[in-house]
Chains A and B, each alone.
Chain A
Amino acid sequence: MADITFTLNGERITLREEPNLRFLDVLREKLNHTGAKEGCGEGECGACAILLDGHIVNSCLLPLASVDGRDVVTIEGYRMTERYQMLEKAFIEEGAVQCGICTPGMMIAAESMLRENPDPTDEEIRHGLAGNLCRCTGYNMIIAAIRRAAKEGEGLW
């Protein structure tokens, strides 16, 4: 057991837990944050993506100890932001959501990408999403949504 302190969606928390717990389990089981989903458990699908110090990370590969002293944003926190609203609108308008299991991870990937590159080309968007699998959409509508959000949300990122 160890004390692990981190910021979760803007709130500082301390947990006394086994430091080698998977952070995805901590989020889902202990903190009731179920927006990050488990698709593969091996860092391949991106459904469990979160932002760690602003960068996308697969929480299924992340031991709890690694978040000590760091800033974590999950979809539960991200959905309170203006950027989220812009992406949400674009996802809806472009038909980017089918079954929805990958979608929170896609939103996190979009945020992480736009933060580094607020005006990405289609090719850059494709590469930015390469760590997130979607089996329903064939991605093109997600790419269109991110392109639209970047355009309509100019200045937000």
Chain B
Amino acid sequence: MKKQDISRSIEKVDSREKISGAAAFTSDIKLDGMHYAKSVRSPIPRGRIKQVNLPSLPKGYVVVDHRDIPGENVVKMIHDDWPVFPKTEVAYIGEPILLVVGPDKEKVAELADAVEIEFEELEPTFGFTNSAIDLHYDKGDPDRAFETAARTVSYEYETGYQEQAYIEPQGFVGYLDEGTYTLVGSIQCPYYVKNAVLATMAADEDDVRVIQAPVGGAFGGKEEFPSLTATQLAVALRKVQKPIKFIYEREEDMIATTKRHPSKVRMEAALDENNNIQGLRAHVGLDGGAYLGLSGVVLSRGMLAATNAYTIDNVWVDGDVYVTNTVPNGAFRGFGAPQMIFAIEMFIHHVAKEVGEDTYTFRTRHQVSQGDLTSTGGVYRDPIILDEMSKKAEEISDYHRKRKEYEDPDTFKGIGMSWFLHGCGFTGSGEQEKIKARVKLKKDADGTVRILVAAVDMGQGPKTTFRKLVADVLDLPLEQVLFPYPDTRYVPDSGPTVASRTMMVVGGLLARAAKDLKESWREGEVQEAMQRYKQPDYIEWDQDRMKGDAYPAYSWGVNVVEVEVSKVTYEVDIKHVWSVYDLGKAIDERIVLGQADGGQAQGVVGLGYLEVMEHEGGALKQKNLTDYIIPTAVDMPKTENHIMDNPYPLGPYGAKGVGELTLVGGPPAVALAIEQAIGRRVRKAPVTPEYIMELIHNG
């Protein structure tokens, strides 16, 4: 029997329970004797805690703070700088200092409001001055490239904060189950949470259990931050010994949780006498906020994208994470790459314009090909189909005709195109050395197969696609393959749900485990199949020097955006987005197309144009969904998205990464369209009407 193409879409397995409202998200969970927790937060950007004055607490109400921590007062991530509860100093406005816990939610809120904390204020740090992490890599001989240059061109670019704005705020429900800290929450990374709680509670492996509830959107925002709320909640559980619900309100979520790093990127190109870029120097600065968290890794991914989909032989890239007394920044779909891809895509155009060349010809001449060296001297081993992809994108968008037509400045219309790549999975040897993913399939005597992995469905669909994949390998009906919500009591650590690794890495291991199970299948017996990640032999990566193959595979994309700018208000009507993607092979086409639309909503419309967040003296000016404007159905343009198969030999059915790819190239595409419409060089995203006005008035 000929099998159906794996890409052919099926009904998402959890659609019905979500449409009907029956799916129990974290805040829908109720437990007997449930208590509520509420944070008391720092009102100042930096200061010493002098004294905490508590209101008189009725019976059953308690305060939980740093003194209640049995283990380490550190949120275990990469660096040890982020406290669970600050002991002596606060470092940003909104930093949670202590919790008030009790049986009545209103009373808890009232008591939390009545807590008075006296501070000795200290001088806060803002801006791009106080570097805490600096990274560097180079390739070829950049000094010589600049010494021998016929000319050099340099520009600076900026991007702003972006808030994940998942519609379901952060939250957990926790309880003690015969002494085991059991945390059910809205999370991306069950084992990050578990490991953080183990360290804070000085607990044994079996004393902490983390369960994923249905997740109402995450986009990176529930990657590392839940480790903070989970550790605080575990400390509270130990003290209160009652089930506790700990849900952030929208404003708390906006002021206190991680955002996309604001960036400043400086780029300098060395050109030879034929206007070829023979050298590139780049410096990437990220505003890390008060604590480092994942900022170093975000910086690294950003830096690695410095040459994007171009081959430049001589490269010098530096980057810094600056510590400031502002909300800590962290993971957000794209993870540093959107900032860098914005800079390099704009820069390539600006260099071409500077030397008087046609931008399209100029960038095509520098485009990567299979066999070229990456920015870090690794090799693009797999076929690259960017030519076919851009041709397709140009056709469906009528790019060239419109580009010419909109050269007439009176039209105030523009069309922009970006092309871009995204490295799939963890950087370098991260999968092999840090994550060491393990997956398990368990077959019951009746032939039911259970998928046991820690990968989280936060809307992007692995509940469906993993079942589809495993069922397909095993030749079983979908109903015979189950994928329960990850629970660390039963699932091995298959790694976090991040870095566009879920299908390629975890799915790849599942496909291999399914193949093993199929080959050893014995009717009526309980069986298990395990797989552990093994890095492809050819990958060589030197983490200290950032040299070699930064990623095992790359996904590719082309975005075309058409706009019309109002001559009166400078508001931008984003009329249409066309995209073509190479993500290897779609495991479910409709799910991938959904990712495409969603990524463009956040990338083209959100980060590119609409979403503005700023702070003043460390206080965010946008604190809720009324001030922080995310795209509505009216703001979202029509889209046309195409997937081109280009199977990756080591991915399941050829699949590579999807989720982030659909966002990272959005901002430059819309910015280039606006650049054409207004006839000014755009160097900042989001390209707001205010910024457009500034550009037009100041020339």
Question: Which residues of A pack against B, CB within 8 Å?
Answer: 28, 32, 34-42, 44-45, 47, 74-76, 79, 87-88, 91-92, 95, 97-104, 107, 125-143
**Can you list 5 residue pairs at the A/B interface with Cβ under 8 Å?**
A98-B598, A100-B18, A129-B633, A139-B632, A141-B597
Q: Is the CB of A99 within 8 A of B217?
A: yes
Question: Which residues of B pack against A, CB within 8 Å?
Answer: 9, 11-12, 14-25, 27-28, 30, 164-169, 214-219, 249-250, 458-461, 590-591, 593-594, 597-602, 624-626, 630-634, 636, 638-639
Other A-B pairs, 11, CB within 8 Å; known A101-B167, A139-B601: A32-B30, A35-B20, A39-B168, A40-B250, A47-B167, A95-B9, A95-B594, A97-B15, A101-B217, A129-B633, A141-B593
Determine the chain B residues whose CB is within 8 A of the CB of A128 once the complex forms. Answer: 633
Contacts A44-B626, A92-B16, A139-B601 given: A99-B21 contact, CB under 8 Å? Answer: no
How would you classify the secondary structure of chain A's contact residues: helix, strand, loop or mixed?
Answer: loop
Residue on A with the closest CB to B640?
A: A140
Q: Is the CB of B249 within 8 A of A41?
A: yes
Residue on B with the closest CB to A46?
A: B167
- A74–B22 Cα distance when bound, in Å, is 12
Q: Is the CB of A107 within 8 A of B19?
A: yes
How would you classify the secondary structure of chain B's contact residues: helix, strand, loop or mixed?
Answer: loop
Determine the chain A residues whose CB is within 8 A of the CB of B594 once the complex forms. Answer: 95, 98, 136-137, 141
Determine the chain A residues whose CB is within 8 A of the CB of B28 once the complex forms. Answer: 28, 34, 37
Q: Is the CB of B639 within 8 A of A140?
A: yes
- A97–B23 Cα distance when bound, in Å, is 13
Contacts A129-B632, A135-B167 given: A104-B19 contact, CB under 8 Å? Answer: yes
- A32–B30 Cα distance when bound, in Å, is 9
Determine the chain A residues whose CB is within 8 A of the CB of B593 once the complex forms. Answer: 95, 141
Q: Is the CB of B18 within 8 A of A143?
A: no
Q: Is the CB of B20 within 8 A of A75?
A: yes
Q: Is the CB of A137 within 8 A of B19?
A: no
Q: Is the CB of A38 within 8 A of B27?
A: yes
Cβ of A134 to closest chain B Cβ, rounded Å:
7
Determine the chain B residues whose CB is within 8 A of the CB of A40 once the complex forms. Answer: 250, 624-625
- A39–B168 Cα distance when bound, in Å, is 5
Q: Is the CB of B597 within 8 A of A99?
A: no
Determine the chain B residues whose CB is within 8 A of the CB of A44 once the complex forms. Answer: 624-626
Determine the chain B residues whose CB is within 8 A of the CB of A130 once the complex forms. Answer: 632-634
Cβ of B223 to closest chain A Cβ, rounded Å:
15
The residue among B12, B19, B591, B594 with the most chain A CB atoms within 10 A of its own CB is: B19
Determine the chain B residues whose CB is within 8 A of the CB of A138 once the complex forms. Answer: 597-601, 631, 636, 639
- A92–B9 Cα distance when bound, in Å, is 11
- A45–B16 Cα distance when bound, in Å, is 21
Q: Is the CB of A135 within 8 A of B12?
A: no
The 9 closest A-B pairs by CB, nearest first: A35-B21, A100-B18, A101-B216, A99-B459, A98-B459, A138-B597, A138-B601, A104-B21, A129-B633
Determine the chain A residues whose CB is within 8 A of the CB of B250 once the complex forms. Answer: 39-42
- A139–B574 Cα distance when bound, in Å, is 15
Q: Is the CB of A99 within 8 A of B168?
A: yes
Q: Is the CB of B20 within 8 A of A104?
A: yes
Q: Is the CB of B636 within 8 A of A97?
A: no
Contacts A39-B250, A97-B18 given: A126-B634 contact, CB under 8 Å? Answer: yes
Q: Is the CB of A45 within 8 A of B636?
A: no
Q: Is the CB of B460 within 8 A of A98?
A: yes
Q: Is the CB of B633 within 8 A of A135?
A: no
Pick from B12, B25, B633: contact of A97, CB under 8 Å: B12
Q: Is the CB of B165 within 8 A of A135?
A: yes
Determine the chain A residues whose CB is within 8 A of the CB of B9 once the complex forms. Answer: 95
Q: Is the CB of B631 within 8 A of A45?
A: no
Pick from B216, B219, B249, B633: contact of A126, CB under 8 Å: B633
Q: Is the CB of B167 within 8 A of A137?
A: no
Contacts A44-B625, A130-B634 given: A97-B597 contact, CB under 8 Å? Answer: no
Q: Is the CB of B166 within 8 A of A135?
A: yes
Cβ of B368 to closest chain A Cβ, rounded Å:
28
Residue on B with the closest CB to A141?
A: B594
Pick from B164, B216, B597: contact of A137, CB under 8 Å: B597
- A22–B696 Cα distance when bound, in Å, is 47
Determine the chain A residues whose CB is within 8 A of the CB of B598 once the complex forms. Answer: 98, 135-138
Q: Is the CB of B632 within 8 A of A135?
A: no
Determine the chain B residues whose CB is within 8 A of the CB of A36 once the complex forms. Answer: 21
The residue among B169, B216, B602, B625 with the most chain A CB atoms within 10 A of its own CB is: B216
